[in-house]
C-alpha cells in the first residue's frame, strides 16, 4: 500500500479562468476519432485506391457522478457549473460556450474541448424534492484554431498526400518539382492517376499527389 499520495481529481479548466473539480472521478473515459477516406476503383486491383481527405474532431465521453445526500444539500450547486459549459448566459463576453481543458493528474488531455452534449440524470432527492444525486453524461468535442492547425500540420511536406488541379501548360515534371522539390519524381504521380502519357494533361483534371515513401520513391 502506497502512503502519502493525494487523490487527484479530474479538473475542467475553463478559458475564463474558472476551474471545476469533480466530486467523484469517472470510472471510464472514451475517446473516439474518425477519418474520412475517398476510394477510387482501379482496373485489375482487388482493393480500390484510397486517399485521405480529412479527420473529424475527436470526441470524449464520460459519466460524472455527484452525490450530496449526506450533506443534505442541493447537488445542483455542483452540476450547474458543468451545465453552463453548454450555455452563453454565463459567458456573455465570449458570445458562445467556453473552451475547456481537461486534466486528471498525469492524464493531461492537452487539447481544447467544447462540451457538445450533456445529459443530466437526477436519481435521489431529499424529502422536500431537492435533488441530491446526479449523473452527468458528457460529450466533449475537440476544438483547434486555424493557427494551431497550421503550426501542427505541414501540408507542403512530400510525405503528405494531397490533390492538385491541372492548369494549362502543366507537365508532370513541373508538378513533381512543385510537390516534391524534384521534377524527376513524376512517376509516382503518373501511377497514382493512371496516366500513360505524362505529356498529355487535361486542364481542370484533379490529380492525386501521393505521399513519398521513406525510400524516396
At 75-123, the pLDDT tens digits run 999 999 999 999 998 887 888 999 999 999 888 888 899 999 999 999 9
Q: 205 with 105, same domain?
A: no
Q: 162 with 147, same domain?
A: no
How many of the other CB atoms lie within 10 Å of CB of 156? 10
Only one residue has cell 422536500, namely: 128
Q: 173 with 135, same domain?
A: no
Only one residue has cell 467556453, namely: 98
Q: 159 with 146, same domain?
A: no
Only one residue has cell 492548369, namely: 167
How many of the other CB atoms lie within 10 Å of CB of 110? 8
Please write the tens of the pLDDT for every residue from 85-94: 999 988 878 8
Q: How many domains does the chain have?
A: 2
Q: 43 with 92, same domain?
A: yes
User: CA–CA separation, 181 vs 98, rounded Å?
Assistant: 43
CATH number at residue 139: 2.40.30.200
Dig out the grid coordinates for 131 from the structure: 435533488
The reported pLDDT for the residue numbered 216 is 37
Q: 108 with 160, same domain?
A: no
Q: 45 with 92, same domain?
A: yes
What is the b/e burial string over 15-33, where b = at least 16 CB atoms within 10 angstroms of the residue's CB? Answer: eeeeebebeeebeebeeee
Q: 136 with 162, same domain?
A: no
Handedness of CA 176, 182, 187, 189 (dihedral sign): negative
The reported pLDDT for the residue numbered 215 is 41
The reported pLDDT for the residue numbered 77 is 95
Q: Tell me, yes or no, whether 4 lies in a domain.
A: no
Domain end (from 108, 124, 151): 151
Average pLDDT value for residue range 21-48: 90
Domain end (from 151, 170, 186): 151
Cα–chain center distance at 149: 11
Cα–chain center distance at 131: 35
Provide the domain limits for residue 169: 155-209
Where residue 52 falls among pLDDT bands split at 50, 70, 90? Answer: confident
Please write the tens of the pLDDT for every residue from 131-173: 999 999 999 999 988 877 766 665 555 556 678 888 888 888 8
Q: 94 with 19, same domain?
A: yes
151 burial class (0-12, 13-18, 19+ CB within 10 angstroms)? Answer: exposed
Q: 117 with 165, same domain?
A: no
Q: Tell me, yes or no, whether 99 lies in a domain.
A: yes
Q: 67 with 165, same domain?
A: no
Q: Tell me, yes or no, whether 6 lies in a domain.
A: no
Q: 49 with 76, same domain?
A: yes
Average pLDDT value for residue range 14-19: 92
User: CA–CA separation, 99 vs 87, rounded Å?
Assistant: 11
Please name every residue paired with 32 in a beta bridge, in sequence order, or none if there are none: 59
Domain end (from 151, 169, 191): 151
CATH number at residue 181: 3.10.350.10
At residue 54, does pLDDT exceed 90? no
Where residue 217 falls among pLDDT bands split at 50, 70, 90? Answer: very low
Amino acid at each position: 500500500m502506497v502512503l502519502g499520495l493525494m487523490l487527484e481529481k479530474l479538473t475542467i479548466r475553463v478559458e475564463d479562468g474558472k476551474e471545476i473539480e469533480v466530486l467523484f472521478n469517472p470510472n471510464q473515459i472514451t475517446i473516439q476519432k474518425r477519418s474520412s477516406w475517398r476510394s477510387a476503383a482501379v482496373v485489375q486491383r482487388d482493393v480500390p485506391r484510397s486517399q485521405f481527405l480529412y479527420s473529424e474532431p475527436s470526441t470524449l465521453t464520460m459519466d460524472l457522478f455527484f452525490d450530496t445526500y449526506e450533506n443534505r444539500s442541493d447537488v445542483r450547486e455542483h452540476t450547474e457549473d458543468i451545465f453552463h459549459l453548454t450555455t452563453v448566459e454565463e459567458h456573455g463576453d465570449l458570445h458562445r460556450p467556453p473552451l475547456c481543458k481537461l486534466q486528471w493528474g498525469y492524464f493531461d488531455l492537452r487539447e481544447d474541448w467544447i462540451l457538445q452534449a450533456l445529459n443530466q440524470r437526477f436519481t435521489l432527492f431529499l424529502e422536500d424534492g431537492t435533488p441530491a444525486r446526479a449523473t452527468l453524461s458528457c460529450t466533449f468535442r475537440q476544438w483547434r484554431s486555424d493557427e494551431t492547425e497550421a503550426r501542427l500540420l505541414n501540408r507542403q511536406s512530400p510525405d503528405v498526400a494531397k490533390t492538385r488541379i491541372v492548369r494549362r501548360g502543366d507537365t508532370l515534371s513541373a508538378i513533381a518539382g512543385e510537390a516534391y522539390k524534384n521534377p524527376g519524381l513524376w512517376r509516382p504521380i503518373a501511377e497514382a492517376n493512371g496516366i500513360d502519357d505524362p505529356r498529355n494533361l487535361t486542364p481542370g483534371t484533379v490529380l492525386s499527389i501521393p505521399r513519398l515513401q521513406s525510400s524516396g520513391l
